[in-house]
Amino acid sequence: MCGIVGYVGNRDCADVLVDGLSKLEYRGYDSAGIAVFEKEKIVVEKSKGKLNDLVEKMLQGKKPHGHCGIGHTRWATHGEPSDINSHPHGNKRVTIVHNGIIENYKPIKEFLISQGYGFESETDTETVAKLLDYYYDGDPVQTIAHMIDEVQGSYALGIMFRDFPDRIYAVRKDSPLIIGVGENENFIASDVPAILKYTRDYYLLEQNEIAAITADAVVICDNHNRLVEKEVLTADWDIDAAEKGGYEHFMLKEINEQPTAIRTTIAPRIQNGMPYLEESGITGEMLKAFRRIYIVACGTAMHAGLVGKYVIEKLARVEVTVDIASEFRYRNPLITKEDLVILISQSGETADTHAALKLAKERGAATLSIVNVKGSTIARESDYVIYTHAGPEISVASTKAYSVQLSIMYLLAFELAYVKEAITEQRCRELTEALVSIPDNLKEVLEMKERCQFIASRLVNSDSLLYIGRGLDYALSMEGSLKLKEISYIHSESYAAGELKHGTISLVTQDMPVIAVATQSDLMDKTISNVVEVKSRGAKVTMICSEDLDVDKNVANHLVKLPKIDDLLMPLLAAVPMQYIAYYTAVLKGCNVDQPRNLAKSVTVE
Ligand code: M6R
């Protein structure tokens, strides 16, 4: 989604804005622009395309020179990507950048047209800019407060008023915005990586708080103009975490960071060899008391929830319902105050997951979020939060966030199974110890990149592919399939292996490669039968299995053999070859791995 950066200080503002925006590229965008005060004049430069296109324009003598300004990367919602629809928007008096969607922009636009305003773009954002101009009475805070009363929808806004060339203003509702606090310089940004080069200290702007930011001060008030005191937070991500560190792509770096991410995430949640989740505020006894568990999330995070369902139901014998957040919020789910709703989100800002959280709270259910970004909206608004410690995930395709989400799912399952006496203390210890060993097992799996590269070379010319598996392997293969399609643009579906015969097997020919995930001993024979079925119909089969599988080498065309660990934990290892296969296929196809077309890292609109 869109990215916002703002700067006030002594540095060259355009450089800081472009640099900050480059750290937000991962969010996905199709155009970029900046506005800088040149003395008392607001100078705007913007361009369709990538940041480089904007930089090219600026190199042709169009770079605004000054020390105070705002910048934006746009992910089109209203109006196609174009120079005109790019932000900033406004006029000589008020200029803004916006992330979010203004739901009632049409009536506001009609009203403003009736008042003599003209519009250049098709965006909802321009309406807000002109509305601010309409209300402007010399007092920016008062003007923004009027705007808040009028506008419905979500917004994070960076605002410049021509009459105040030493400052920028910021306000947000349902879209993220932070204020970076430096020495004689201050920032606004959609996310921490944009400011890390300059400062680690920041304020979180709350709903409808209005900030006035100069080089020396940040003054924050609510929409009734009452001053708000805020705690300065310190980001614990270091700047290297947001750089590629010698890897060709962030995705490859993040795949390789999984051992560390898992270790850092689980270490504080294990005490004396047993799961310990109480720092989140949720105890085993509380977990035990819930009638039912719902897991709600989107995309990869939802896939982590699916693995969680299998593991919790298998070990703890508690019913778990997994929902796609955009479905959950509109299907009037049967949640009550006796239920626990678990929200999983890397960013903590996903609009549908946030809406699901609000719904769960309205219905009185307890809410627990599993979130990677500290202080994000979902984390702050849940009753309980367990932070994953993956560090910043920059590549749009989620990898390490998935692994840490799985790790927390396992700890929850172990804890719940133990307090419910569905497993013995000894089994709980065994499983916890196996989880602790995962980072070491993973190092071995990460060495298999050449094997996966070779398999990718066999897939690269395919138009479509099937992932198959049973039980946990089926849940896991959904993530493998999503990874492949989102970055390599090869159509892919994940299918329950036993369901193939009921229709989908008619698609299987020599042109339909199949990746079979077969890590679960109790279902192995059945999955192998399905593999034989597809192979005898011409499919080239890759099988991801554990090293102890004694299988005729002709069963599959390619085997990826993983270290043997407890079956229940195999998804943590088997995810890696899937990620590698997707990655190398996309690289071989020359795709933009870290920023696939049409996708945004953090989906903050519905
Ligand atoms: O930030 P979230 O975890 O809430 O994001 C949810 C999905 O948009 C996300 O997992 C998406 O599916 C991945 N980027 C795919 O790799």
Q: Is residue 387 predicted with pLDDT exceeding 90?
A: yes
pLDDT of 253: 95
Query: Positive or negative CA dihedral for 581, 582, 583, 584?
Result: positive
pLDDT of 585: 96
Mutate to test the pocket of ligand 1, among 381, 489, 603 (most ligand atoms within 8 A of CB): 603
For the segment 550-588, what is each residue's pLDDT rounded down to a tens digit? Answer: 777 788 999 999 999 999 999 999 999 999 999 999 999
Nearest to 47 by CA among 58, 38, 36, 39: 58
**296 close to 356: Cβ distance less than 8 angstroms:** yes
Taking the CA of residue 378 as reference, the ligand 1 atom at the shortest distance is 4
Rounded percentage of the chain residues whose pLDDT exceeds 90: 84
* Residues acting as catalytic residues: 2, 601
Q: Is residue 241 predicted with pLDDT exceeding 90?
A: no
pLDDT of 600: 83
Taking the CA of residue 346 as reference, the ligand 1 atom at the shortest distance is 3
Q: CA geometry: angle at 203 spanning 198 and 205, to 5°?
A: 130
For the segment 29-42, what is each residue's pLDDT rounded down to a tens digit? Answer: 889 999 999 988 99
Query: Positive or negative CA dihedral for 184, 187, 192, 197?
Result: negative
Model confidence band, residue 289 (pLDDT cutoffs 50, 70, 90): very high
Mean pLDDT of the chain: 94
* DSSP 3-state of 261: helix
For the segment 80-132, what is each residue's pLDDT rounded down to a tens digit? Answer: 889 999 999 998 899 999 999 999 999 999 999 999 999 999 999 999 999 99
Strands in 3-8's sheet, in edge-to-edge order, are: 41-48, 31-38, 68-74, 3-8, 186-189, 178-181, 201-204, 233-234
Size of the chain, expressed as the number of residues it contains? 606
What are the CA-CA distances from residue 472 to residues 254, 297, 409, 530 (Å)?
Answer: 24, 18, 13, 16
Taking the CA of residue 347 as reference, the ligand 1 atom at the shortest distance is 1
Residues with Cβ within 8 Å of 54's Cβ and at least 6 positions away in sequence, in order, are 18, 32, 33, 34, 45, 46, 47
Q: How far apart are CA 462 and CA 580, in angstroms?
A: 17
Ligand 1: list residues with CB < 6 Å.
298-301, 345-347, 350, 353, 396-398, 486, 602-603
Q: How far is the CA of 559 from the centre of ligand 1 (A)?
A: 29
pLDDT of 81: 87
β-strands 340-345, 293-297 pairing: parallel
Q: How far is the CA of 602 from the centre of ligand 1 (A)?
A: 7
What are the CA-CA distances from residue 413 to residues 83, 161, 291, 477 (Å)?
Answer: 51, 53, 15, 20
Nearest to 24 by CA among 261, 255, 349: 349
